[in-house]
Structure 1
Amino acid sequence: MSTEIKRPGPGKVPPQLVEMSWDPITRIVGSLGIYTKIDFNQRQVVECHSTSSIFRGYSLFMQGKDPRDAHFITSRICGICGDNHATCAVYAQNMAFGVVPPPIGEWILNLGEAAEYMFDHCLYQDNLVGVDFCEQMVKETNPGVLAKAEHTEAPHAHLHGYRTIADIMRSLNPFTGEFYRESLQMSRTTREKFCLMEGRHVHPSTLYPGGVGTVATIQVFTDYLVRLMKYVEFMKKVVPMHDDLFDFFYEALPGYEKVGQRQVLLGCWGAFQDPNYCDYDYRNMERWGEAMFVTPGIVIDGKLRTTNLVDINLGMRILLGSSFYEDWQNQPTFVDKDPLGNPVDRRHPWNQTTLPRPQKRDFQGNYSWVMSPRWYDERTGKYLALDTGGGPIARLWTTALAGLVDLGGYIQATGHSVKIRLPKTALKPEMELEWKIPRWSNALERDRARTYFQAYAAAAALYFVDKALEEVRAGRTKTWSDFKVPQDAIGCGFHEAVRGVLSHHVVIRDGKIANYHPYPPTPWNANPRDIYGTPGPYEDAVQNTPIFEENGPDNFKGIDIMRAVRSFDPCLPCGVHMYLGEGKELQIVHSPTFGVNPQVP
């Protein structure tokens, strides 16, 4: 349906505003939909809403459960990163139960989680995100870019073997591309590594509060190491190849840095515990949090605000905003003060009460099942819509700025970069990689960071294998510590799921779970506008994104929008169905909000 467009004054280009939506962009924690209004004359997205149409309810049915079962149940939140949930739940259980695993138990858990990062990032980057940059997709959306790629030499061809950028694009074609198939095979070996440590993928069978059930032998770590070295060699090809590809897009499409760009507001909750420091005591959480092998932190406008997990925890606020829930303001609180005596806000996850209220979606009111997590910045009094950047960019950025990580020559955080040393492998010499803090938090840099973090996880795993073998050779092979479930306790676990921040908050009363709230990266990234009107990160990143696709509205695929959304790794965003809103053009009047105010006549 078309309607007349109100014509602007002489010399101005008339807006051509079209509603377009992609729903669903499938993911595990709900069904993601992206609804936009695009001005095709200005070649820009002017409005975006992010929706989720599925309610999960884990916070409700965890109530009354045995606290020892928390990790087994919450693993089922996700069919992709269930082990991340199990790990985070174990961290929260360890704190609530007051139990400390033996060192080798931590090294085994670290090795399992490192394998998960390698597996998921490899599969997602090369077999899902990579399709957005493959020859077939670029040919359909930007044939001019493909023509230039055919004549552009790849600067690191001697490292990855592809002579031109177009050759790289062809290698990414699904099912027929050489690199696409190679990555599928490599992701299989990474899953094997995971199962050696945690028994089963994706719902671990050997994780428990107090440690793990994996039998620690030289054989099991050697089996892991054999597969790891193949992955290390693979990384020596992958990193320079992706650097060439992403750098080319900046060159071929001037201004592409604006695609998916938003203010640098990054959150990382840290990953990989150091058993020399970690005792899971909340009162010591600042100390053992900063000893993690991925440093927790919050980055605001490129500067590190804090690395203190206590501050990060206390700053968490769950706002309702445009979501389908009743307010819990009149409900009783569970936790008034943390173990250090600090007051705990009513909107903190420890005190949250989930009151679902199904209703019709209304973009002027409530339109999503995702709540709006925010981090309260006491210095400014603002509720910050942090994003995870898909996980890796936030992890690398906080670790680089903090400068605390130094893993025995494998990884070094410098204060402005992260250096990663990959040792000599069967066919390739030693290689040092350096991820440098980028100028932007945008689609391409989120994707680039994902590649570098694959190398980071591999290098960290080499260090963890060394430490685990030291324990075995010294005869310290006990992997689990006994514990008792207290009648009343609180706990919190902080971890990094593959795609970003993950926390679990538990309250135990009379030996049962009284309150439990897991907060994975999806709510942080995919949330709708909050009570102050602040858009969520997906919405913010897509809004004002320029359109470089050469197709018009009749054959529009939305590749720039999809690259922006997929750069956040919103679980499996491969099942995209496109709805064009019948291609209707909307009447336009000027508005101070977006410059235009779409109204359906």
Structure 2
Amino acid sequence: MTETAKRPAKEETTQQLVDMSWDPITRIVGSLGVYTTIDFKQKQVVQCHSTSSIFRGYSIFMKGKDPRDAHFITSRICGICGDNHAACSVYAQNMAYGVKTPPVGEWILNLGEAAEYMFDHTIYQENLVGVDYCERMVRETNPGVLELAERTEAPNAGAHGYRTIADIMRALNPLEGEFYREALQQSRVTREMFTLMEGRHVHPSTLYGGGVGTHATTQVFTDYLTRLMRYVEFMKRVVPMHDDLFDFIYEALPGYEQVGQRRILLGCWGALNDPAHCDYSYENMSQWGRKMFVTPGIIVDGQLVTNDLVDINLGMRILLGSSYYDDWNDQEMFVTRDPLGNPIDRRHPWNQHTLPRPQKRDFDNNYSWVMSPRWFDGTNHLPLDTGGGPIARLWSTALSGLVDIGGYVQATGHSVRINLPRTATKPETTFEWRIPQWSNALERNRARTYFQAYAAAAAVHFAEQALAEVRSGNTDTWAPFEVPDEAISCGFTEAVRGVLSHHMVIRDGKIANYHPYPPTPWNASVRDVYGTPGPYEDAVQNTPIFEENDPDNFKGIDIMRTIRSFDPCLPCGVHMYTGNGKTLRKLHTPTAFGDSA
């Protein structure tokens, strides 16, 4: 049994409530700020508000544009995962145009998106999230944990090469850590893989409605595979290393499973289409959606509610909540029924109007530019989160049990097995991600590592299929189409950090309404009209504080680990204001006799 690091004892006599804010934490579809009230006596966050201070307006200036330009424009929504937006927009265009991508074109797109998962998850997990658990950070926030790590042997040392947990932490130190630098090199390799398929990173130059412009040759896929196998070998060290680190944190700090924990409400829109089944038609979306190589699904309290993309689409609701917009109740309804005849709600993205109303931030009223996307199950508006993407993807895929990617990835109904082939110095290796007990900070991070391996294993299969097509003489990568005068369409995929959908309405051959919904509005959504907090807010509220520093030196590491476990894009500017430790109020707790002072 691993020893337990000493946690500072709670003082049970008083509460000391302190306002603390981190603004900005990160930038994606706005600037993320987190405002908290912390009880330092009870070592717990008691209140949290998530804010976005930037209005983007893509849904406004997309109107009147040529639909064929949609992916080039929406790619610029994000400077990190712009290709995910481009791909999702192409999927929506294909539905509108009634065009099917040729098989090798679909494999190329899948290879590009798989490379993006590998690139982005690697640089985020190892060079950004990893810093939260590195030796320098742990020394500053939990020296008792580092002391214990120094004398704790790493169970999987033979696989990753680090003798103790402290050695793993040192390897994660920014700039100087061995593993930190190795991960940067792997990010370069995976970025090269991406550009081989999609031409440019991060705004692709070879994606179009109807397919891709990449020239399909044996050489281009061989170049991709050469780099991919280097990454596969890398992953055979990464997965056991992170398992050792995260398992140690649980054992060193009993109760750490509560950090970032929230009710299991996960959404996954599916990813990586199978060209043998996907025709992009709405009428067949239920069928080809279930054939995706990442299975769509909505998970409530750990159970699969649906894996039907039509159901998922019909249940989407955009609530104003505590956001800076006017309601669109009196505005035009663009879509009343979907192509299958199902009624479409006024609050569905197809019918949304963006009516900005700038105002002063007021936590008792409106305080963010992010609306409150919810999924309506017929009774409740559920505040789904993506868990940073991977935990929702793996959970949904595991429960559905539909995926078998050429023997490289299998969904079992309760887990996902990932088989990495033999590489230059390492034998074939199998990892198994099992559905965890919690949706919390550590399990979101663990899932990210396993999904890196998942994407690599799937990419081996995609490359093999693409090569088989080329060798058979099937090298077409694009199919012609005509832009219709009238159409409604949607695209569903998984951005790196979670659910991504694009909803488009075409009238007179031009875009009449267009609403992209990436993962950040779902995760960073604010309190809705029913008072339900968004996922960031919910995960931070009531999370315990394990950091050993007092308020004057407080870094908020447990809060930061919670927020960053959702992968809120790049944490490119972190600032904290503590109000000089301002005490809001002191409350005496009731005595044993039931009275209070």
Tell me if both proteins adopt one fold, taking TM over 0.5 as the criterion: yes
Q: 1:416 to 1:395 in 2, by over 3 A?
A: same
Q: Distance in 2 between matches of 1:578 and 1:345?
A: 41
Distance 2:158 2:548 in 1: 32
SS in structure 1 at match of 2:304: strand
Match of 2:248 in 1: 248
* Alpha-carbon distance, 1:582 to partner: 3.0
1:487-538 alpha-carbon deviations (Å, 9 max, x no partner): 0001100000000000000000001000000000000000110000000000
CA distance, structure 1, for counterparts of residue 69 and residue 247 of structure 2: 47
1:127 and 2:127 aligned: yes
What's the counterpart of residue 22 of structure 1? 22
Structure 2 Cα separation of the partners of residues 590 and 531 of structure 1:
34
Deviation of the 1:588 alpha carbon = 5.0
In structure 2, C-alpha distance between the alignment counterparts of 1:17 and 1:95, rounded to whole Å:
53
Residue 370 (structure 2) aligns with: 370
1:391-443 deviation digits (Å, cap 9, x = unpaired): 00000000000000001110000000000000110011110000000000000
CA contact (8 A) 2:152 2:164 kept: yes
Please tell me whether the aligned partners of residues 27 and 573 of structure 1 are also in contact (alpha carbons under 8 angstroms): yes
Aligned counterparts of 1:495 and 1:467: Cα–Cα separation in 2: 21
Deviations 1:154-181 (A, max 9, x none): 0000000000000000000000000000
| Matched ranges for 1:347-358 at <5 A | 347-358=347-358
Return the alpha-carbon distance in structure 1 between the equivalents of residues 182 and 67 of structure 2.
Answer: 42
Q: What are the within-5 Å matches in structure 2 for residues 295-444 of structure 1?
A: 295-378=295-378, 381-444=379-442
Structural mapping, 1:18-417, within 5 Å: 18-378=18-378, 381-417=379-415
2: CA distance, partners of 1:429 / 1:137: 35
Q: Which amino acid aligns with 1:522?
A: T
Return the alpha-carbon distance in structure 2 between the equivalents of residues 422 and 334 of structure 1.
47
The aligned residue for residue 567 of structure 1 is 565
Any idea what the Cα deviations from partners look like across 1:557-576, whole Å, max 9, x if unmatched? 00000000000000112421
The DSSP-based 3-state class of the residue aligned with 2:63 is: coil
Aligned residue number for residue 594 of structure 2: none
The superposition leaves residues 441-482 of structure 1 with CA deviations (integer Å, 9 ceiling, x where unpaired) of 000000000000000000000000011011000000010000
Cα shift at 1:581: 2.1
Q: Which residue of 2 aligns with 1:578?
A: 576
Correspondence for 2:518: 520
The answer to which of 341-350 and 27-36 deviates more is: 27-36
User: What is the SS of the residue equivalent to 2:283?
Assistant: helix
From 468, 471, 484, the counterpart of 2:466: 468
In structure 2, distance between residues paired with 1:288 and 1:581: 53
2:28, 2:520 within 8 Å by CA — same for their partners in 1? no
- Looking at structure 2, the residues matched to 328 and 31 of structure 1 have their Cα atoms a distance apart, in angstroms, of 25
Q: In structure 2, give the amino acid aligned to 1:457.
A: A
The change in CA–CA distance for 1:213 and 1:547 in structure 2 (over 3 A counts) is same
* Equivalent AA in structure 2 for residue 291 of structure 1: K
Return the alpha-carbon distance in structure 1 between the equivalents of residues 286 and 12 of structure 2. Answer: 56
Q: Please give the alpha-carbon distance, in whole angstroms, between the structure 2 residues aligned to 1:397 and 1:259.
A: 20
Q: For the residues of structure 2 that align with 1:98 and 1:582, how far apart are their CA atoms? A: 60
- 2:575 partner SS: strand
CA shift, 1:587, in A, is: 1.9
Q: Which of 446, 449, 470 is the equivalent residue of 2:447?
A: 449
Cα RMSD of the aligned pairs, angstroms, is: 1.0
Structure 2, unpaired ranges of 5+ = 1-10, 590-597
Deviation for aligned residue 1:216: 0.1
Q: Distance in 2 between matches of 1:416 and 1:528?
A: 32
2:5 paired residue number: none
How high is the TM-score relative to the length of structure 1?
0.96
How far did 1:284 drift? 0.4
> In 2, Cα distance between the equivalents of 1:12 and 1:39?
12
On the 8 A contact 2:15/2:588 being kept in 1, the answer is no
Match of 1:478 among 451, 458, 476: 476
Report deviation, 1:12.
Answer: 5.0
Contact 1:154/1:163, CA 8 A, preserved across alignment: yes
- Contact 1:391–1:499 under 8 Å retained in 2: yes
Distance of aligned partners of 1:275 and 1:99 in 2 relative to their CA distance in 1, 3 Å threshold: same
Percent identity, aligned pairs only? 78
Gaps of 5+ in 1: 1-10, 592-601
Shift of 1:212: 0.2
Q: CA deviation at 1:389?
A: 0.1
Q: Tell whether the 8 Å contact from 1:25 to 1:31 is kept in structure 2 after alignment.
A: yes
Question: Are the aligned partners of 2:15 and 2:587 in contact in 1 as well (CA < 8 Å)?
Answer: no
Residues paired across the two proteins, number: 579
Which whole-Å deviations, capped at 9, do the CAs of 1:378-397 have from their partners, x for residues lacking one? Answer: 1xx00000000000000000
2:15 partner SS: coil
Within the candidate set 444, 457, 460, 1:459 is matched to 457
Correspondence for 1:496? 494
Query: Structure 1's 12 and 170: CA in aligned 2 closer, same or farther, altered over 3 A?
Result: closer
Change over 3 Å in CA distance of 1:574–1:134 after alignment to 2: farther
Residue 325 of structure 2 aligns to a residue whose secondary structure is: coil
Deviation at 1:589, TM superposition (A): 6.4
**Deviation of residue 28 (structure 1)?**
2.3
Cα contact 2:14–2:586 (8 A) shared by 1: no
- SS in structure 2 opposite 1:158? helix
The amino acid of 1:433's aligned partner reads: F
User: For the Cα contact (< 8 Å) 2:35–2:49, is it kept in 1?
Assistant: yes
Cα 1:232–1:359 change in 2 (3 A) is: same
Q: Could you tell me how far apart the structure 2 residues matched to 1:583 and 1:42 are? A: 15
Give a deviation string over 1:312-366, Cα, whole Å, max 9, x none: 0000000001000000011010000000000000000000000000000000000
Query: Could you say what secondary structure the match of 2:338 adopts?
Result: coil
Tell me what 1:548 maps to.
Answer: 546
Paired residue for 2:7?
Answer: none
For the Cα contact (< 8 Å) 1:38–1:47, is it kept in 2? yes
Shift of 1:373: 0.1
Measure, in 1, the Cα distance between the counterparts of 2:220 and 2:204: 16
Per-residue CA deviations over 1:214-250 (Å, capped at 9, x if unaligned) read 0000000000000000000000000000000000000
Distance 1:343 1:147, change over 3 A: same
What is the Cα deviation at residue 26 of structure 1?
1.8
- Counterpart of 1:586 in 2: which secondary structure? strand
Alpha carbons 1:128, 1:574 under 8 Å: kept: no
